[in-house]
């Protein structure tokens, strides 16, 4: 499918999305970023291609939409929907669909119910579709386990765990999980919002529940640092003994007093990489992968779903609107 696309946020993820968009034969008609090191440069140079693309990265979003209207914006600037809102509103105002890696947009009704309602109405009135997705949240710990329930007649509990070697991830990821920080500094920065670590535990739980048509009575999430027992280093950070070498976190969805959904994300330097999904019920099955590369996976999810988003009915969507295959909770 031929698509005109605009890259909004040319960080590591936006850059990979741009590369994959070209591989899929999509056209890139604009690129927006605020980083002075990227603004004014050809997108091909910014994302490390050997050829120029004839698209100059601009910090003036209004201008990027003008020359040729894109069919869809590939949005990758922030984890927080309130921060992303003006960027999304601008795309919608220009009658352009949006697919975004913004974690809190993957299930926006949890943290930002009012913004979600506003966005849905605004998107509908402008005839465009908005979707937040990615690898996690968006696929591995929500959509995938929901699909895997299809061959079950009864489900009592779903546990989904993703473990990654944080040392193999991009610098911005290693920074946001606080590698090399003193544990106290980590906790302070996390509580002040200066560090995000992983965003989206509750979103994954609620997204999965909405796919299964299950009403949860309570959702909780928590994450904490994992402390290095010996020195380690990554390409970007030195990790002294007693400092942070990763994070472990979880999200739980309860029905009554019982855990029905449990998701865990472990991002630790040197950890084994895998996803494991356990479905207890009739029958009980455990699925295990050899690990999914998150950055590549995120960019692939975005470009693969782009044509579906363009064709989808207008409004604010979640993966539950696009993927409909699971067991029936009765
Ligand atoms: N759902 C998922 O599975 C998933 C997976 C991977 C990543 N993500 C999320 O996707 C986002 C992008 O990831 P990343 O690693 O590429 O992040 P990043 O390193 O922070 O890059 C974001 C880029 O967008 C720019 N930017 C920030 N605010 C902007 C604005 N208002 N207008 C234009 N450009 C702006 C940044 O410029 P400055 O550097 O100057 O701020 C930077 O160049 C992050 O929020 C990340 O958490 C989600």
Structure tokens at 319: 């993966």
Please check whether residues 23 and 93 belong to one and the same domain. yes
Provide residues with CB under 6 Å of ligand 1.
Answer: 9-14, 32-35, 76-79, 87, 101, 103, 134-138, 170, 172, 298
| 86 CA distance to ligand 1 middle (Å) | 15
Query: Is residue 1 pLDDT above 80, yes or no?
Result: no
The residue contributing the CA closest to ligand 1 atom 45 is: 78
Using the structure block, give the residue that is written with the tokens 């968009």: 21
Please check whether residues 174 and 272 belong to one and the same domain. yes
Please check whether residues 229 and 286 belong to one and the same domain. yes
Q: Which domain holds residue 241?
A: 143-291
Question: Total domain count for the chain?
Answer: 2
Residue-wise pLDDT for 289-322, tens only, equals 999 999 999 999 999 999 999 999 999 999 999 9
Please check whether residues 83 and 172 belong to one and the same domain. no
pLDDT at 118: 98
Residue-wise pLDDT for 107-141, tens only, equals 999 999 999 999 999 999 999 999 999 999 999 99
Please check whether residues 171 and 189 belong to one and the same domain. yes
Structure tokens at 236: 């970007």
> Please, which residues bridge with residue 97 across strands?
72
Indicate yes or no: pTM above 0.95. yes
Give Cα separations from 238 to 230, 232, 287, 323 (angstroms): 11, 6, 35, 42
Compute and round to an integer the Cα radius of gyration of the chain. 20
Please check whether residues 225 and 208 belong to one and the same domain. yes
Within a domain: 265? yes
pLDDT at 172: 92
Please check whether residues 40 and 97 belong to one and the same domain. yes
Structure tokens at 7: 């890259």
Give Cα separations from 172 to 12, 190, 244, 266 (angstroms): 8, 15, 16, 17
Please check whether residues 169 and 103 belong to one and the same domain. no
The residue contributing the CA closest to ligand 1 atom 42 is: 11
d(CA 263, CA 142) in angstroms, rounded, equals 8
pLDDT at 68: 86
d(CA 6, CA 32) in angstroms, rounded, equals 8
pLDDT at 29: 97
Q: Reduced to 3 states, what is the DSSP secondary structure of residue 289? A: coil
Residues 37-60, mean pLDDT to the nearest whole number: 97
Please check whether residues 166 and 250 belong to one and the same domain. yes
pLDDT at 237: 97
| 76 CA distance to ligand 1 middle (Å) | 5
The CATH number covering residue 62 comes to 3.40.50.720
Residue-wise pLDDT for 237-284, tens only, equals 999 999 999 999 999 999 999 999 999 999 999 999 999 999 999 999
d(CA 310, CA 33) in angstroms, rounded, equals 23
pLDDT at 67: 79
| 200 CA distance to ligand 1 middle (Å) | 15
Within a domain: 328? no
Within a domain: 329? no
Residue-wise pLDDT for 171-206, tens only, equals 999 999 999 999 999 999 999 999 999 999 999 999
The CATH number covering residue 191 comes to 3.30.360
ω into 137 cis (within 30 of 0) = yes
Q: Which of 77, 195, 295 to mutate to test the pocket of ligand 1 (most atoms within 8 A of CB)?
A: 77
| 225 CA distance to ligand 1 middle (Å) | 22
| 303 CA distance to ligand 1 middle (Å) | 16
Residue-wise pLDDT for 4-35, tens only, equals 999 999 999 999 999 999 999 999 999 999 99
pLDDT at 180: 97
């Amino acid at each position: 499918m031929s698509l005109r696309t605009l890259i909004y946020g040319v960080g590591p993820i936006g850059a990979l999305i741009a590369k994959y968009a070209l591989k899929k034969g999509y056209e890139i008609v604009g690129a927006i970023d605020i980083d002075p090191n990227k603004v004014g440069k050809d997108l091909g140079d910014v994302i490390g291609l050997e050829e120029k693309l004839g698209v100059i990265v601009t910090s003036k979003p209004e201008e990027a939409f003008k020359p040729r209207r894109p069919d869809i914006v590939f949005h990758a600037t922030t984890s927080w929907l309130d921060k992303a809102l003006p960027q999304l509103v601008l795309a919608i105002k220009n009658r352009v669909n949006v697919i975004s890696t913004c974690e809190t947009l993957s299930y926006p009704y949890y943290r930002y119910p009012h913004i979600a309602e506003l966005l849905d109405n605004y998107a509908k009135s402008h005839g465009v579709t908005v979707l937040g997705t990615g690898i996690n949240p968006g696929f591995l710990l929500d959509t995938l386990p929901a699909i895997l329930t299809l061959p079950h007649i009864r489900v009592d509990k779903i546990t989904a765990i993703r473990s990654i070697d944080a040392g193999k991830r991009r610098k911005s990821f290693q920074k946001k999980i606080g590698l090399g920080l003193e544990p106290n500094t980590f906790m302070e920065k996390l509580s002040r919002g200066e560090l995000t670590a992983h965003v989206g535990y509750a979103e994954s739980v609620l997204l999965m529940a909405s796919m299964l048509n299950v009403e949860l009575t309570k959702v909780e999430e928590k994450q904490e640092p994992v402390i290095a027992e010996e020195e380690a280093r990554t390409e970007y950070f030195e990790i002294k003994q007693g400092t942070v070498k990763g994070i472990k976190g979880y999200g739980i969805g309860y029905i009554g007093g019982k855990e029905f959904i449990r998701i865990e994300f472990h991002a630790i330097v040197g950890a084994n990489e895998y996803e494991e999904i356990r479905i207890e019920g009739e029958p009980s099955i455990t699925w295990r992968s050899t690990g999914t590369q998150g950055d590549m996976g995120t960019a692939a999810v975005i470009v693969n779903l782009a044509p579906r988003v363009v064709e989808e009915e207008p409004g604010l969507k979640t993966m539950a609107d696009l993927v409909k295959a699971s067991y029936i909770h009765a």
